[in-house]
Amino acid sequence: MGTTPPEQPREATPEEAAKAAAELTLSDITQFFDERKVSPVCPICSSRQWHLLTPAGEGTKTTRLKKLTPQGPVDAEYPAIPTFLVICTNCNFLREHAAMALGKWKFERGLK
């Protein structure tokens, strides 16, 4: 009889990181920012209240950078960077961060 040793952290595969990135919550993001000492203060209005944007109809909380053309943004036809957007609930300033690193971080901490 003995205790089971704690599971060793395992590095996430790109697929695992992408899946975790698609399931990010505002709580995950807040925890990640706290751990990495990322300022929660809006650079425009100094509010600390953010809302995680979920693109309508995509079934995921991640967005992708879009190619800008003179006619406006178009869906990327090339490999794009998954990102997430948070918006200041006071002044509507948008913050965009790459999602994969946060998905990798989430997976490796076993967060659900």
Question: Rounded to whole angstroms, how far apart are CA atoms 60 and 53?
Answer: 10
Question: Rounded to whole angstroms, how far apart are CA atoms 16 and 109?
Answer: 12
Is residue 89 near Zn ion by the rule CB under 5 A?
no
Query: Which residue(s) pair with 94 in the sheet?
Result: 87
Is residue 42 near Zn ion by the rule CB under 5 A?
yes
Is residue 33 near Zn ion by the rule CB under 5 A?
no
The answer to whether 65 touches 78, Cβ cutoff 8 Å, is no
Member of 20, 21, 88, 102 binding Zn ion (CB under 5 A): 88
Is residue 44 near Zn ion by the rule CB under 5 A?
yes
Residues in contact with Zn ion by CB under 5 A are: 42, 44-45, 47, 88, 90-91, 93
